[in-house]
Amino acid sequence: MAFDPSPPASIQNLLHRACHTWGLSRLDAELLLAMALGKPRSWLYAWPEHIPGPAIQETFIQLTQQRAAGKPLAYLTGHKEFYGLDLQLSPDALIPRPDTETLVDTAIEIIDRHKARRILDLGTGSGAIALAIKSQCPACDVWASDVSSQALGVARNNAKRLGLSVHFCQGCWFDAIPMNCGPFDLIVSNPPYIAPDDGHLEALSHEPRHALVAHNHGLADLFEIIDQTPKYLADGGFVWLEHGHTQGAAVRERFHERGYQAIESRHDLAGLERITGARLYP
């Protein structure tokens, strides 16, 4: 569909076209136009008749077209808020989801109640979980790993920008963790858990596939973490994992088979079973 750039459009006309011609939500259109202008969103309301110059109009048209083609807003703006933190993002790292805040809430509850101090976040991506925990619980010694060096680059940048000290290491699950840095009081992870043939993947095509997909109906990485965790967990330590809303029973069963206790699942903000945790005693 052609986007008619002439006559030069005002702020309100550009927003109208982005929404009605290209089908963007009003919020997305405003955020992209504010970004193209280099102004806060409130500026659009103060100056609705302003006519941006041709370069800004062109930038906005390109952003609008990419958004209409399905590119996530967070990859266009390069930002996403998570647990009150402004995280910078690139397409190398998964966009953190509000569902994952349930895992952070639970981690903070355990840290407060059980004085957990050594914390590990496996598959940290943008650093979302590890940085949220460190920001809320500064006394904790937080470690975070990922198999992707590009994702770790995003996480390290976020830690530096936010002034949060987290130890990052690269490698496949526990292979990344130096032997002398355990045991941990709490291990958390939001690993890939979507089955390779899941129809939802089409809508997630802009995000890294290795961050989303796991074999064995999406359970392979969850099971590997459950199986390996005992070597790295302190006596009486906790492990909490995010999973798909239909995977809770399989995850609880695996914890049970591997001798964990106090196995429990919790729901996300949408009321779906989203995280499962357990403790391990000698």
Ligand X SMILES: C[S@@+](CC[C@H](N)C(=O)[O-])C[C@H]1O[C@@H](n2cnc3c(N)ncnc32)[C@H](O)[C@@H]1O
For residue 192, the minimal CB distance to ligand X (Å) is 5
- Encoded amino acid at 188, one letter: V
Q: Which is nearer to ligand X, 151 or 275 (CB)?
A: 151
What residues make contact with ligand X under the rule CB under 6 A?
94, 96, 100, 123-126, 128-129, 145-148, 151, 172-173, 190-192, 210-211
Shortest spacing between CB 107 and ligand X, in angstroms: 12
How many angstroms separate the CA atoms of 106 and 269, rounded? 13
| Element containing residue 252 per DSSP (H, E) | helix 248-257
Q: Which lies closer to ligand X via its Cβ, residue 81 or residue 235? A: 81
Residue 146 has a CB neighbour count (10 Å cut-off) of 28
Cα separation, 47 vs 164, whole angstroms:
38
Return the number of the residue (116 or 155) whose C-beta is nearest ligand X. 155
With residue 274 as reference, give the H or E element that holds it: strand 273-280
**Smaller CB separation from ligand X, 125 or 248:** 125
The minimum distance between CB 93 and ligand X, in angstroms, equals 6
Beta carbon nearer to ligand X, 93 or 278: 93
Tokens in use for 44? 């659009």
CB of 61 to ligand X, least distance (A): 31
Of residues 23 and 98, the one with the C-beta less far from ligand X: 98
Give yes or no for a contact between 52 and 60, defined as CB atoms under 8 angstroms apart.
yes
**Are 70 and 203 within 8 A, CB to CB?**
yes
Best CA proximity match to 233, nearest among 277, 196, 184, 177 = 184
**How far does Cα 75 stand from its chain's mean position?**
12
Work out how close the CB of 127 gets to ligand X at its nearest, in angstroms, rounded to a whole number.
8
